[in-house]
Amino acid sequence: MLPTLWVLFGDDPFLFQHDCTPVHKARSIKTWMRAFGVEELDWPAQSPDLNLIKHLWDELEWRLKRLGKNGLRGRVPRRKPLLSKKNIKARLSFARKHLDDPQDFWENTLWTDETKIELFGRSVSHYVRRKSNTTFQKKNIIPTVKYGGGSVMVWGCFAASGPGRLAVINGTMNSAVYQKILEENVRPSVSDLKLKRTWVLQQHNDPKHTSKSTSEWLKKNKMKTLEWPSQSPDLNPIEML
């Protein structure tokens, strides 16, 4: 507060107005005011209508209502990866390159990703419909456990025809572990999903996916990959799955 007062008034005398809320009138507050030479304006109780700032709050409320009537309602912003100009250019290039791809191309793309699953995860918002005074009824609460109650990392895949294999990742995943997962799960998934011989593997740009050894492994095993722009998890439909 003091820096604001100094900016507004400098060395000029001023009065400080606040209402009669008990916390404002506490002895410690009065002592603090005197210590810094802040002179209070004598204020009558139950008089919010005398405070000019009320007009400011009313104006803000009016403006917010006008915004709402014009369709500009308050929303929780979506969270998306921070994109550099290079990322934006690459994403736009990817979209333009594949704009006219036939449906058959996408139907024969195997989408992949890794994710962590928690037993008592908190990463998703939940809602309940309940009556007043039923907040703590068992059916209206979600139990929480420290550290999510345990978690597991998995690799999964799917195509237009359905879900493919799911692999549990034990320990830390490096290039060798990733290649083992691909070896054991990609071709069986392609077969189960009845993808055509022209199928394409999609993977994001994690260093384990793009390392020299993984690139050589993919080439050796004749797995064609879909080039992928960095910072683009939102382009992968597996995120919806």
Considering the domain boundaries, does residue 230 fall inside one? Answer: yes
Considering the domain boundaries, does residue 172 fall inside one? Answer: yes
- Confidence class of residue 9 from pLDDT cuts 50, 70 and 90? confident
Rounded to an integer, what distance in angstroms lies between the CA atom of residue 49 and that of residue 47?
5
Last residue of a domain, one of 69, 85, 113: 69
Q: What is the pTM of this model?
A: 0.66
| CATH number for the domain harbouring residue 235 | 3.30.420.10
State whether 103 and 198 are in the same domain. Answer: yes
DSSP code per residue over 118-185: ETT--SS-------TT-TTSGGG-----GGGG-EEEEEEEEETTEEEEEEEE-S---HHHHHHHHHHH
Query: Is the pLDDT confidence value at 1 over 80?
Result: no
State whether 54 and 156 are in the same domain. Answer: no
What's the structural domain count of the chain? 2
Q: What average pLDDT does the chain have?
A: 91
Considering the domain boundaries, does residue 133 fall inside one? Answer: no
State whether 106 and 53 are in the same domain. Answer: no
Instruction: Quote the pLDDT of residue 68.
Output: 87
Considering the domain boundaries, does residue 206 fall inside one? Answer: yes
Rounded to an integer, what distance in angstroms lies between the CA atom of residue 90 and that of residue 148?
36
The answer to whether residues 205 and 114 touch, using CB atoms and an 8 Å cutoff, is: no
State whether 65 and 102 are in the same domain. Answer: no
Domain extent for 63:
2-69
State whether 117 and 222 are in the same domain. Answer: yes
State whether 63 and 151 are in the same domain. Answer: no
| 78-112 pLDDT per residue, tens | 888 889 999 999 999 999 999 999 999 999 999 99
